[in-house]
Every structure is written in structure tokens, then in C-alpha cells.
Amino acid sequence: MNNLSGKVAVLTGGGGGIGRATAELLAKQGMKVVLLGGNNSDKLQLTQTLVGQYSECLAIPGNLTDMAFLKQGVEAAVARFKGIDVLINNAGVAQNQQFEDISVEDFDRIMAINFRVPFFLTQQALPYLKRSDSATIINVASVVSHAGYPMQSVYTASKHALLGWSKSLGAEYYQDNIRVHAISPGGVYTDMVKISRPDLKADGMIMPEEIANIVLFFLANRGNAVVDEIMVHRVNKQPFLV
């Protein structure tokens, strides 16, 4: 197991769900955590308090779709912690809507947060990751990265884009000792799923902590075996069903 103590993780979407559980778990390993972005500063503040029980934590609220914010966020992270070892692209938005009703504004918003943000945030963080001896990028994709779902055409397309880019990035930067992983969860019991899929019940859903454990597995087991993507299905569902 790699010693993660003192390593610096920048994580988006830390205000709840998978992001909060991951931030807490990494802090318990002694990692310094930057919670980058979030429109709801109360939720981000709560995560900062939880994480701060275990390790140093910097919270930077703001809208990730603002390109200037991405640059400023990375600069603020490096100013505080002197580098970046791990980038976790986790923030995302889902939408359940019939294809013919999706507006250009919805399309742009969802593609931006789910794909453009990870893409350009990684560009900003890359010079610092290149200097790390344990550089790792983890993209939180989805089972919809691998399958087509009715009523989720933009979300599905954005997560396909995220997974495709993850594969390309991993191949391109392997020689720079940067590992790229994608995790593709099915239904995880978070605010997102409660809002976008109110038909799904908590019983049998994946818990955010289970995804956090997989993130930790990637970081703690940095050997010669490279795992590029992991699909995580609910226990009571067939593969490819949310």
C-alpha cells in the first residue's frame, strides 16, 4: 500500500454525495484535500469541517464552468499546498428529460460540467501533476458511459465523452507516469439520484462510501498493474441497469 500521507488531492463536487465521502476518506489517510468548486457554500463548508477533523482542507467555492475559476482554483491550491498529486474530477449534473425537449442551454450546461470542466481543469493541473511522483487522475464517469439510457441523452453523451477522453488521456500521459482511471457507478444514493431518479429507492443502492473506497484503492495500490476503468453495479440489478 502506498503511503498517501501528505499527498495533495484536488477534488470537484465535494459538497455532498460521492465527493464528500471521498474527501473524508482521503483525509483519513492524511491527504491534504482541496474542495474545488461548488455553488452551495453551506454544503461545501460542512464537508470542509468534516475533512478538517483529519487533515488540512482548503475549500474554494465557485462555479466550475467559469474557465477563469478553474485557473484561479488550481493556482490557489498550489499556493496553499505547493503541488498537486491527485485530481478527482467528480462534479457532475444529471437530467431526466425527453430528447426533443432538451434546450441548447441544458445541452451546454450538462456538457460543460460533466465534460468540459474535467477536460480543462486537467489541463490546468497537468503541469503540477507532472512534477508529482504519484500523479493520478480519477474521473467519475457512470454506467451511462457504457450504455444508452432513455430520457438521459445529454447526460449519457457527456459521460461517454468523459470516458472516451479518459482513455485517450491515460494513453497519452502514461509515459509521464500519470495514471488515469475512470469509475463508472450505477445508482449511488446521493442528492443527484434523489432528484433525477425519484423512482429509485435507497434500498439496494450503492452508498457514496463504496465509491470512495474504490478511489482509495486506485491511489493506495499504485504498482505495475494499471486498472483503467471500473464499473460498479448495484447488487440487485443486472449489469448496465442504473
Residues in the chain: 242
Q: Which is nearer to ligand NAP, 55 or 158 (CB)?
A: 158
Pick the piece of the chain touching ligand NAP (CB under 6 A) from 16-24, 95-103, 120-128, 168-176: 16-24
- Residue count at the site for ligand NAP (CB under 6 A)? 29
Q: Does 33 bind ligand NAP (CB under 6 A)?
A: no
Q: Three-state SS string across the chain, please?
A: CCCCCCCEEEEECCCCHHHHHHHHHHHHCCCEEEEECECCHHHHHHHHHHHHCCCCEEEECECCCCHHHHHHHHHHHHHHHCCCCEEEECCCCCCCECHHHCCHHHHHHHHHHHHHHHHHHHHHHHHHHCCCCCCEEEEECCHHHCCCCCCEHHHHHHHHHHHHHHHHHHHHHHHHCCEEEEEEECCECCHHHHHHCCCCCCCCCECHHHHHHHHHHHHHCCCCCCCCEEEECCCCCCCCCC
196-225 residues near ligand NAP, rule: CB under 6 A: none
* CA dist list (Å): 206 to 58, 131, 185, 225: 28, 35, 8, 26
Q: Which is nearer to ligand NAP, 47 or 55 (CB)?
A: 47
Q: Does 123 bind ligand NAP (CB under 6 A)?
A: no
Which of 4, 113, 125, 180: binder of ligand NAP (CB under 6 A)?
113
Pick the piece of the chain touching ligand NAP (CB under 6 A) from 60-68, 79-87, 96-104, 173-181: 60-68
Active site (annotated) includes residue 155: yes
Q: Does 185 bind ligand NAP (CB under 6 A)?
A: yes
Q: Does 118 bind ligand NAP (CB under 6 A)?
A: no
The residue annotated as part of the active site, out of 155, 173, 174, 189, is 155
Pick the piece of the chain touching ligand NAP (CB under 6 A) from 9-17, 25-33, 50-58, 220-228: 9-17
Q: Does 38 bind ligand NAP (CB under 6 A)?
A: yes
List, by residue number, the catalytic residues: 155
Site for ligand NAP, rule CB under 6 A: 13, 15-19, 37-40, 43, 63-65, 90-94, 113, 140, 142, 185, 187-188, 190-193
